[in-house]
C-alpha cells in the first residue's frame, strides 16, 4: 500500500506487533466507535417507535431510514476521497472527525427538541393527529445525524488503517477493536434506551414539556448523554493521536504510518484533478476481483441484516407483545413494554458482540475469513427463522387468552426468553459483520487503485444500497402481505443463507495472508 515507517521485517505476521506499532493510538481512535454507536443504538431502538408516535404510519416508517443510505452513498466516498488527499496541518482524517462530532451535537438538538419546536410553530397536541412540523424537524435532524455519523465512522476506520500499515493481522485487530467498542456503545445506548426515568434526574428536568411526554423526554435525555460521550472520546483521541501533516511529494509521511504510495496510486487512479464523484466511479472501474467479491458478499449480508436492524424493537412490541403504536391505550402500553424489552434484547446482543469481537482474530486464524463469515451468516439465517417461529407461538398464546386477559398481559416467559435469546445469538454474526468486511477492504485496497479512505467509502456503498432497497420496499411489501414485520424477515432469511454460501465459496483469500 505504501512505504511505512517500520522496517520490512517488522511487518511479518503472526508475531506480536513490534514496539513501533501504535497500539495505544489504535485503541484511542477505536474508542470513538463507542460514542458513535451509542447514538446508533438509540436510533435503532427508539426512533422507529418514536416516529410512529409522532403520527407516521408503520408502512411509511421505513422511509425515514432512507436518510442513512443516501447520506452514506454520497458522504463516505467523498469524505474518503478528500481525506486521502488532504495536506493541511491538522492531518488527513482529523478535520473530518471533528466536523462530524460538531454535526452530531447539532443533530441531537434537532431530534431532541423536535416535538417542542413543532408545537411552538403550530402542531396540535391532540392524540392521533400527526405532528407535521415536529416530523419535519425530526427528519432534518435525522439526516444531519446520519451525515455526521458517516463523516465520523469512515475517517475513523481509515485512520485505523493508516496506523495499522500493511500488517493484515494488525488491520484485523484494529477493526475487531473498533467492533468491540461498538459493542460498548451499544450496551450503553440500549441500557439507556431501556430506562424510563432518565428525565427525572436533576440534570434532565428540562426534558419533559407539554409537547414532549415521558417517552420523548427519555429519548431527549439519552441523546444528550450520547453527545457528551462522543465529544469526550473524540477530543481525547484527537489530542492523543495528533495526526501529522501529509506531504504527497514524499514517499514516507512524517509522524504516523500514513500511506503515501497508496494515496499516490489513488491520485492516479482517481484523477485528482477531477471531483470526488469522478474518483469514486474511477475507483469502481479499477477494482480487482477480490474487492468485487467483497462488495457482493457485503451487499447480500446487509440485505439479510436490514429488516432486523430496522424492525427488531418494533417486532418485539408488535408481533411478540401484540401491541400497537396507535389506538387502544392497552395495546399502546403493551407496545411500549415490548419496545423496552427489545432494548434489553439489544443490550444482551451488544454484550455478546463485545465479547465475540475480542475473539475474531483468533477465530479468523483458525477457520479462515471465508469460512468464519459463511458460518456466521448461516447463524443469521437460523435466527431469522426463529423470529417467525416465535411470532407464531405468541399469536397462538394470544388467541388462547394467555393469562386470562386475552393477551393483555403480554407473552409468557418462555416466549419472552426465546425472543431475547435470538437477540443474544445474533451478537455473534454482528461482531463479524462489523469487523471482517472493513478489515478485508483495507487489505484488498493494496491492489484496488484507491486510497484507504476511498476504498472504505466504496465498501460502504455495498451497505447503503441494500438499506435503500429495504427502506423503500419493506413497508409496501409488508403491507401487501397483511402488515407487520414477518414478510421482510422472510426475505432476510433467504438472503442470509445465500450470503453464507457466497462468503464461503466466492471470497478470495488475501495475498500474503499466510493462510489467515
Question: Which cell goes with 29?
Answer: 481512535
Average the pLDDT over 107-123 and give the result: 84
The domain covering 20-244+287-506 belongs, at the CATH homologous superfamily level, to MFS general substrate transporter like domains (1.20.1250.20)
pLDDT at 250 over 80: no
* Listed residue (231, 219, 214, 153) closest to 192, CA to CA: 219
d(CA 97, CA 92): 10
Question: Which cell goes with 117?
Answer: 419546536
Lowest-confidence pick of 48-57, 400-409, 428-437, 490-499: 400-409
Q: Is 412 left (phi over 0), alpha (psi -120 to 50) or beta?
A: beta
pLDDT at 191 over 90: no
Could you read off the pLDDT of 192-247 as tens digits, one per residue? Answer: 876 777 777 877 878 877 777 777 788 888 888 888 999 999 999 999 888 777 66
First to last CA, the chain: 19
Cβ distance 125 to 106 under 8 Å? no
Burial of 428 (0-12, 13-18, 19+ CB in 10 A): buried
Cβ distance 369 to 507 under 8 Å? yes
d(CA 418, CA 436): 28
**Computed from CA positions of residues 53, 57, 61, 64, in that sequence, does the dihedral angle turn out positive or negative?**
negative
Query: Higher model confidence: residue 494 or residue 474?
Result: 494
- Reported as a pLDDT band with limits 50, 70 and 90, residue 124 is confident
Average the pLDDT over 349-374 and give the result: 87
Lowest-confidence pick of 19-28, 72-81, 273-282: 273-282
Domain boundaries, the chain: 20-244+287-506
Could you read off the pLDDT of 154-167 as tens digits, one per residue? Answer: 888 888 888 887 77
What is the structure's pLDDT at 383?
95
Query: Higher model confidence: residue 2 or residue 119?
Result: 119
Average the pLDDT over 309-325 and give the result: 86
What is the structure's pLDDT at 183?
85
Could you read off the pLDDT of 439-461 as tens digits, one per residue? Answer: 888 777 655 445 666 667 777 77
Lowest-confidence pick of 204-218, 365-379, 415-429, 501-515: 501-515
Average the pLDDT over 97-126 and give the result: 85
Average the pLDDT over 21-32 and give the result: 86
pLDDT above 90 covers what percent of the chain?
A: 18
**Computed from CA positions of residues 75, 78, 83, 89, in that sequence, does the dihedral angle turn out positive or negative?**
negative
d(CA 331, CA 92): 52
Query: Higher model confidence: residue 51 or residue 217?
Result: 217
Amino acid at each position: 500500500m505504501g512505504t511505512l515507517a517500520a522496517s520490512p521485517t517488522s511487518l511479518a505476521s503472526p508475531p506480536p506487533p513490534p514496539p513501533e506499532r501504535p497500539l495505544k493510538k489504535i485503541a484511542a481512535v477505536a474508542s470513538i466507535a463507542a460514542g458513535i454507536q451509542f447514538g446508533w443504538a438509540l436510533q435503532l431502538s427508539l426512533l422507529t417507535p418514536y416516529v410512529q408516535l409522532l403520527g407516521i404510519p408503520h408502512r411509511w416508517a421505513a422511509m425515514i431510514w432512507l436518510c442513512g443510505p443516501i447520506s452514506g452513498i454520497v458522504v463516505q466516498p467523498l469524505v474518503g476521497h478528500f481525506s486521502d488527499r488532504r495536506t493541511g496541518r491538522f492531518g488527513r482524517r482529523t478535520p473530518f472527525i471533528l466536523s462530524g462530532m460538531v454535526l452530531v451535537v447539532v443533530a441531537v438538538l434537532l431530534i431532541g427538541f423536535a416535538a417542542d419546536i413543532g408545537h411552538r410553530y403550530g402542531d396540535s397536541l391532540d392524540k392521533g393527529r400527526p405532528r407535521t412540523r415536529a416530523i419535519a424537524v425530526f427528519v432534518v435532524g435525522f439526516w444531519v445525524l446520519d451525515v455526521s455519523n458517516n463523516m465520523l465512522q469512515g475517517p475513523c476506520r481509515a485512520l485505523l488503517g493508516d496506523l495499522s500499515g500493511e500488517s493484515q493481522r494488525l488491520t484485523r485487530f484494529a477493526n475487531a477493536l473498533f467492533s468491540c467498542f461498538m459493542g460498548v456503545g451499544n450496551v450503553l445506548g440500549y441500557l439507556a434506551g431501556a430506562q424510563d426515568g432518565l428525565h427525572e434526574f436533576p440534570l434532565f428536568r428540562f426534558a419533559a414539556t407539554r409537547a414532549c411526554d415521558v417517552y420523548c423526554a427519555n429519548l431527549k435525555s439519552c441523546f444528550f448523554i450520547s453527545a457528551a460521550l462522543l465529544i469526550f472520546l473524540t477530543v481525547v483521541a484527537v489530542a492523543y493521536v495528533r495526526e501529522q501533516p501529509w506531504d504527497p511529494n514524499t514517499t514516507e509521511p512524517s509522524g504516523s504510518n500514513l500511506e503515501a504510495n497508496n494515496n499516490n496510486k489513488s491520485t492516479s487512479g482517481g484523477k485528482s484533478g477531477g471531483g470526488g464523484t469522478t474518483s469514486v466511479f474511477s475507483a469502481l472501474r479499477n477494482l480487482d476481483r477480490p474487492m468485487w467479491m467483497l462488495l457482493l458478499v457485503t451487499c447480500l449480508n446487509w440485505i439479510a441484516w436490514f429488516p432486523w436492524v430496522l424492525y427488531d424493537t418494533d417486532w418485539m412490541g408488535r408481533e411478540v407483545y401484540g401491541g400497537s403504536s396507535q389506538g387502544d391505550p392497552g395495546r399502546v402500553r403493551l407496545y411500549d413494554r415490548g419496545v423496552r424489552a427489545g432494548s434489553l434484547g439489544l443490550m444482551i446482543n451488544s454484550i455478546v458482540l463485545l465479547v465475540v469481537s475480542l475473539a475474531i482474530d483468533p477465530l479468523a486464524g483458525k477457520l479462515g475469513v471465508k469460512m468464519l463469515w459463511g458460518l456466521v451468516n448461516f447463524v443469521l439465517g437460523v435466527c431469522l427463522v426463529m423470529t417467525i417461529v416465535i411470532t407464531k407461538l405468541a399469536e397462538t398464546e394470544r388467541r388462547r387468552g394467555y393469562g386470562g386477559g386475552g393477551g393483555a398481559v403480554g407473552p409468557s416467559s418462555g416466549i419472552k426468553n426465546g425472543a431475547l435469546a435470538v437477540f443474544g445469538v445474533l451478537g455473534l454474526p454482528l461482531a463479524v459483520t462489523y469487523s471482517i468486511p472493513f478489515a478485508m477492504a483495507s487489505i484488498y485496497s493494496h491492489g484496488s487503485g484507491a486510497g484507504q479512505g476511498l476504498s472504505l467509502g466504496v465498501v460502504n456503498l455495498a451497505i447503503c444500497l441494500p438499506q435503500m432497497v429495504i427502506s423503500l420496499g419493506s413497508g409496501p411489501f409488508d403491507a401487501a402481505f397483511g402488515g407487520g414485520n414477518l414478510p421482510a424477515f422472510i426475505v432476510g432469511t433467504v438472503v442470509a443463507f445465500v450470503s453464507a454460501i457466497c462468503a464461503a465459496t466466492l471470497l478470495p483469500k488475501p495475498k500474503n495472508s499466510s493462510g489467515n
